[in-house]
Structure formats: structure tokens, C-alpha cells
């Protein structure tokens, strides 16, 4: 054998080896093959036993492997009989529907694509057209593969059948659907796709009886309505002539499970902002946030209007459209998911009121698959906007966001400006509106620094603790002579506080900022990391956010200027430390939050520094001192409050003198 032949044989062997490695079965496939083999062996044993007289010829539910039984039943009457008896035992009147073939239906409108399956008649996947996951590699998808399921638990005699395991017949506009082409609608158009679960005829298996399916007047139907320009998918559950199948049922349990996919940059932050919200009467409630597992059971006469599986920027919501079809009870559970590509597992069980004597009854719902956008939610008039964290617990905060910040932000967006410029303009408008308050605060602080020597003289004149009242009166008279209102320095800060808090809520929850680039930040809705660590610093994180770092530097500068502007107060030596400690604390708090929030605080602080410099130049210290000297020569008109305080002080002195005299007499 020559050299070329040897090389050829070696290459052929390598090809076979590589092919074997690539195509070797996984552990899951090996386990499935073993399960099928065990199931086949049990079926053969059961088929042989069934030949004996009075021998039970059905398998237990956990012994059933329909895939293997379908194969074995071809041409083998004994095994076929075992198959028929077993699936009838497990699925009762819907035995045929358990062994039908799965059919996929794809619906598409202007905003999303929905993948439906005849198995369970369920939505299996939803893809949003206008949104991509972090990094922009693929469209936003709501669930993992087979990560969304919902269905009815039907009690048929002693058997409980789950519709998730059954195959529905597909109808489009009331015609049996056999195509594989996607169904598309746009604009104001709509399409209706019906999935019908049809009981067996005459207690026989009718796997491929299409004529029976077309003419059947007895069925459970899931009716989906897709509109061209809407994030909602109409979902109607109907029972038609099911009285003899669902005998004695007063309520039907519906179960809904979803495994939510990771869509954002930071899994921890997205998990913390994902939970279950629901509306009970007029109240919107939610399970624990901050990534904590939780559960709740609601069972009362008050119906549940909607249930939302809410993520940081997207939600899946089941909405009840009529009072008659509302859930009268529900159990909801949320739990964290350890998989890298998932964040949370959502689980709900709802009870539907059912009247077994009615020939026809339906339950009308909508599924919402879309972004957590305030104006979209507000347009539905269902209080869905309450799932967006805008500070609903503090009325001033949510009022500022709803009636000021969001309208201004939406108005600026109409000009197609970059998000960085929009935030800059928004900050300038806010600071412009607050400028009169800032002017009073800064000018009052500057004036108080001018008269600080006079305040020191008062402190020296009344050094004792029992002279506090006299010291306060003298200080207030000094303020009045200088034309200073001490409250004007504190009140503006209190009025600005709700706005600062409102911004703290607004920016991290605004989907409009998602994946918007500005300078070095590739996504303004999350942190702008310029350096990642291989370790985690407690409370800080594993990265450096540049906007947060710049904001901290600006805050330290602003604090230094504020401290220099204020009068020194030796009575509170720890205040200076606290003033400088706050920016460092904010560095740890904001490092993992939205770059847009840190950018806003940075711009706001720089504008405040500029305002302080300008206002300081407008303060004429000589004029303030001249006014003080002139007013000190004039008698001061005392207010009623001052007169009362002086009378009280006089009485206190008299009482103290009387007590001193009595002690001397003793």
C-alpha cells in the first residue's frame, strides 16, 4: 500500500470519528431512548397479558409513551388496543386530540409576530419587531422555547384533563386551516384564528376525520383576534354544547406559566424590576419586588381585572374585558430562575365561573405583549400604567412625573432630537422653572454669611443655655433688620425635593431611553461601564460608571461651594463631614443605575454651580451691612408672636427670681 492510500484511509477514519462525535446522542436523548424502550417493553407485556380472560389491557399514566405507541400500533392489533384503551383512560372524551399531529400557525401584524401551536391552542412565542435585546443581535422574545403555557383543567368523570396536552383543530375565519404560510394583517385590518377542541364521536378515535371536525357543533374554542396596529391579541374562551361532557362543573381552573427571558444588560437589575402585578377592583397590587420570591392568593367576591407578568421594560398581561368573564379567584407565584438566559418564573392559577346547564358561554380576554410605555398603557384606560414605577406611593412624585416630566419629555421627542440633547433640554427647563426658588435659597444663604459677625456677637452676649430664648429673639431681630427670611433658604429645597425624587424614578423606568446611545454610553437605560472588574465590590458593583463618577465629582464641587457660602456653625462640627459623605454615598447608590439618571444629575449640578456663581455676584455685601446699620437705629415694630414670647420670657424670669428668693429664705 502506497503513501497516498494510507493518507486517504487515515482521512476517511478521521471523517468517521468526527462524524460520530458530532452526532452522538446527548444525555437527554439517551434517557429518552431508554424511556421509549422501557415503554415498548411494557406495552408488549401488557398486550400479551390482555389475551387472557378478564385481563386489564390499559397502562398506568406514568407508563404511557404515546410516541412509541403510535409507532407500535401500526399493524399490531393487540398493541393498538392497548394504545386506544390507555389514551381513553387518560384523556376521556378527548382521546383523539391527544394523538393528533401538531400544527403551527404564525400570525404577524405591524408590531409583533406570534407563534401559535395546535397543541394546547397556545401562544408559544412572541417577537417584537421594533425592539431588540441588549446588544441588538436579535428581536425581543418574551419566553424561552416552550416557556409559555396555559390551559384549562377539565373534570370529566373521575378524570382531570389538561388542555395543554391536547391538539386543537385550527380554523381561520371559520374555515379549516391547513396551510403553513404566515397570516399577516396591517393597519385597521384583523383576522380571527380559532382553535377548537372537539370531543370524540361515538367514543371512537377520529384522528383524521376532517369532515367531522368541520361539522362539529360541540367543542371548546380558543378564539384569537389579531389587529394590525395593536400590541393586544384578542383571546376568547368559548364552550359550545359541552353540557353532557362537563357535567356538574361549577368552576374551571385555568393555569398560566411563563419562563421570562433576559432582555437587558444587567440580569440582577432586570430581575429586581420583574414581578407579578394584578388589579383587584380599583386597587393595583403586586408581589414582592427586588428579585424576591413571593406568592399570593386572592379569593373573594371582587373580580380580578388583569394579571401582568411585568419585566423591567416589557410585560405580558392577561386582561379581562367584561365583568361576566372576570376571574373570581387566583393564586400567583413568582420565583427567580438560575439559568443565565432567564430571569423569573411566573405562575398563576385562576378560577372561571362555569354554568354546566348553559349551551353556550364565553369568556372574553386580551393578551398584551409589548413595551411598558406610559402613553400606550394610559390609552387602554385600565390603570396598567401603575405597573411603571413612577413613585405611586408618594402623591407629589407621581404627579410631577405624570403631569410635568412625561408630557415635556414626549413633547421634546417629537423634534427627533437625540436623547442626550432631550435630557439636557429637559434639565434646563426644570432648572429654569425652579430658578426663582434657587435664587431665594442662594441669596438668603449669602446674606446670612454677610451678617455672621453680628450673629457671633449675639452668641457671645448670651452664652448660657438658659438664655436660649433671648438669643433666639436677638437673632430674629437681626434677620429682620438685615431683610433676611431664614425660611427662604429651606423652603425652596423642600419644594425641589419631589422633583429630584421624581427624576430618580422616571429615568430608570423609561423604555424610551432603552438602547439609546450618547457619548460613551451605549444604552442610557442602564449603567455606562468604562471599566469592568473581575471581582465585585460590595454595594458598588464590578464596574465603573463614568457618568456616575463625573456626577460625584460635580456634587463634591457643589458641596464645597455650598459650605464656603454658608456661615460656619461651631455648634454642629459633624455637619461638614456629613455634607462631604453624601456624594460618596451617592456614588455607591447610583453606580448600577441608569446612565441617563446620572447624566441628568450631572447637568443639574453643573447648572446649580453656575447659578450659585452668578447669584453670588449679584449680592452687594456693603449694601446689606448699610441696611443693617440704618435699621439698627430705628425702633423695630414687634409682631404679636414676639410680644407673646417676650411676655412669656418675662414671666419665666419672675418665677425664677421668686424661687431663688424662697431658697435664700430657707
pLDDT, residue 570, reads 44
pLDDT, residue 487, reads 59
Q: Give the residues across from 286 on adjacent strands.
A: 277
**Grid coordinates standing for 629?**
446699620
Within 10 angstroms of residue 215's Cβ, the number of other Cβ atoms is: 8
**Grid coordinates standing for 51?**
389475551
Residue 92, φ and ψ in degrees, nearest 5? 50, -125
**Residue pointed to by grid coordinates 417629537:** 414
pLDDT, residue 63, reads 46
Closest among 226, 225, 176 to 198, alpha carbons compared: 176
pLDDT, residue 629, reads 61
Instruction: Kindly report, residue by residue over 131-149, the tens digit of the pLDDT.
Output: 988 887 788 998 877 788 9
Measure the CA–CA gap between 407 and 622, rounded to whole angstroms. Answer: 45
| C-alpha pair distances (Å), 264 with each of 184, 270, 302, 511 | 29, 7, 36, 11
Measure the CA–CA gap between 464 and 443, rounded to whole angstroms. Answer: 31
Q: Residues of the chain whose pLDDT is less than 70?
A: 1-6, 8-12, 15-84, 202-214, 300-301, 323-329, 446-447, 449-452, 461, 464-470, 473, 477-495, 565-577, 620-650, 653, 666
Radius of gyration of the chain (CA): 37
pLDDT, residue 91, reads 76
Measure the CA–CA gap between 597 and 335, rounded to whole angstroms. Answer: 29
pLDDT, residue 435, reads 82
Measure the CA–CA gap between 439 and 453, rounded to whole angstroms. Answer: 23
Q: Are 441 and 564 in contact (CB under 8 A)?
A: no
Q: Are 298 and 261 in contact (CB under 8 A)?
A: no
Q: Give the residues across from 141 on adjacent strands.
A: 127
DSSP for 261-294? EP-SS-HHHHHHT-EEEEEETTEEEE---TT--E
- Give me the helices (H) in 526-573, please: 546-565
Say how many Å lie between the first and final Cα of the chain, rounded: 135
Measure the CA–CA gap between 48 and 357, rounded to whole angstroms. Answer: 44
530: CB partners within 8 A, 6+ apart: 520, 543, 544, 545, 546
Kindly report the pTM of this predicted structure: 0.78
Strands (E), 183-326: 183-184, 190-197, 219-227, 232-240, 251-261, 275-280, 283-286, 294-310, 314-320
Amino acid at each position: 500500500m502506497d503513501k497516498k492510500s494510507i493518507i486517504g484511509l487515515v482521512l476517511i477514519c478521521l471523517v468517521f470519528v468526527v462524524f460520530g462525535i458530532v452526532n452522538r446522542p446527548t444525555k437527554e436523548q439517551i434517557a429518552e431512548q431508554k424511556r421509549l424502550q422501557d415503554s415498548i417493553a411494557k406495552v408488549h407485556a401488557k398486550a400479551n397479558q390482555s389475551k387472557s380472560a378478564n385481563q386489564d389491557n390499559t397502562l398506568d399514566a406514568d407508563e404511557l409513551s404515546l410516541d412509541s405507541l403510535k409507532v407500535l400500533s401500526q399493524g399490531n392489533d393487540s398493541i393498538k388496543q392497548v394504545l386506544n384503551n390507555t389514551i381513553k383512560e387518560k384523556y376521556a372524551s378527548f382521546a383523539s386530540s391527544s394523538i393528533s399531529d401538531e400544527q403551527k400557525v404564525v400570525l404577524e401584524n405591524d408590531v409583533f409576530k406570534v407563534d401559535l401551536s395546535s397543541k394546547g391552542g397556545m401562544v408559544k412565542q412572541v417577537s417584537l419587531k421594533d425592539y431588540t435585546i441588549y446588544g441588538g443581535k436579535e428581536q425581543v422574545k418574551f419566553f424561552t422555547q416552550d416557556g409559555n403555557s396555559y390551559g384549562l383543567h377539565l373534570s370529566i368523570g373521575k378524570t382531570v384533563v389538561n388542555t395543554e396536552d391536547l391538539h386543537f383543530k385550527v380554523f381561520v375565519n371559520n374555515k379549516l386551516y391547513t396551510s403553513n404560510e404566515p397570516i399577516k394583517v396591517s393597519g385597521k385590518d384583523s383576522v380571527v384564528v380559532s382553535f377548537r377542541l372537539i370531543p370524540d364521536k361515538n367514543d371512537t378515535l377520529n384522528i383524521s376525520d376532517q369532515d367531522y371536525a368541520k361539522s362539529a357543533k360541540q367543542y371548546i374554542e380558543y378564539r384569537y383576534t389579531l389587529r394590525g396596529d395593536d400590541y393586544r391579541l384578542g383571546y376568547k374562551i368559548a364552550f359550545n354544547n359541552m353540557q353532557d361532557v362537563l357535567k356538574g362543573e361549577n368552576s374551571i381552573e385555568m393555569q398560566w406559566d411563563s419562563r421570562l427571558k433576559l432582555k437587558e444588560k444587567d440580569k440582577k437589575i432586570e430581575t429586581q424590576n420583574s414581578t407579578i402585578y394584578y388589579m383587584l377592583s380599583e386597587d393595583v397590587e403586586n408581589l414582592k419586588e427586588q428579585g424576591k420570591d413571593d406568592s399570593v392568593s386572592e379569593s373573594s367576591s371582587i373580580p380580578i381585572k388583569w394579571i401582568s407578568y411585568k419585566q423591567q421594560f416589557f410585560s405580558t398581561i392577561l386582561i379581562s374585558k367584561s365583568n361576566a368573564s372576570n376571574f373570581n379567584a387566583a393564586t400567583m407565584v413568582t420565583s427567580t430562575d438560575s439559568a443565565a438566559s432567564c430571569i423569573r418564573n411566573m405562575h398563576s392559577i385562576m378560577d372561571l365561573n362555569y354554568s354546566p346547564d348553559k349551551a353556550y358561554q364565553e369568556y372574553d380576554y386580551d393578551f398584551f405583549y409589548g413595551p411598558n410605555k406610559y402613553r400606550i398603557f394610559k390609552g387602554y384606560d385600565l390603570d396598567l400604567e401603575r405597573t411603571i414605577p413612577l413613585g405611586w406611593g408618594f402623591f407629589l412624585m407621581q404627579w410631577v412625573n405624570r403631569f410635568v416630566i412625561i408630557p415635556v419629555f414626549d413633547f421634546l421627542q417629537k423634534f427627533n432630537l437625540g436623547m442626550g440633547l432631550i435630557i439636557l433640554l429637559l434639565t434646563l427647563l426644570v432648572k429654569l422653572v425652579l430658578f426663582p426658588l434657587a435664587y431665594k435659597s442662594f441669596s438668603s444663604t449669602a446674606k446670612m454669611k454677610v451678617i455672621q459677625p453680628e450673629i457671633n456677637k449675639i452668641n457671645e452676649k448670651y452664652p448660657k443655655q438658659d438664655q436660649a430664648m433671648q438669643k433666639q429673639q436677638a437673632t430674629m431681630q437681626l434677620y429682620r433688620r438685615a431683610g433676611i427670611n431664614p425660611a427662604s433658604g429651606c423652603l425652596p429645597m423642600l419644594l425641589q425635593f419631589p422633583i429630584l425624587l421624581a427624576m430618580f424614578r422616571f429615568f430608570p423606568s423609561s423604555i424610551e431611553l432603552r438602547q439609546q446611545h450618547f457619548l460613551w454610553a451605549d444604552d442610557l437605560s442602564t449603567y455606562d461601564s468604562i471599566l469592568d472588574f473581575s471581582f465585585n465590590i460590595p454595594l458598588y458593583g464590578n464596574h465603573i460608571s463614568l457618568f456616575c463618577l463625573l456626577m460625584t465629582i460635580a456634587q463634591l464641587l457643589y458641596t464645597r461651594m455650598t459650605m464656603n457660602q454658608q456661615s460656619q456653625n461651631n455648634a454642629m462640627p459633624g455637619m461638614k463631614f456629613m455634607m462631604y459623605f453624601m456624594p460618596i454615598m451617592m456614588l455607591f447608590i447610583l453606580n448600577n443605575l441608569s446612565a441617563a439618571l446620572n447624566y441628568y444629575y450631572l447637568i443639574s449640578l453643573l447648572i446649580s454651580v453656575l447659578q450659585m456663581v452668578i447669584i453670588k455676584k449679584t449680592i452687594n455685601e456693603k449694601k446689606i451691612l448699610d441696611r443693617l446699620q440704618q435699621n439698627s437705629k430705628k425702633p423695630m415694630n414687634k409682631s404679636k408672636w414676639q410680644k407673646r414670647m417676650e411676655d412669656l420670657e418675662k414671666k419665666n424670669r419672675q418665677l425664677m427670681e421668686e424661687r431663688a428668693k424662697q431658697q435664700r429664705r430657707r
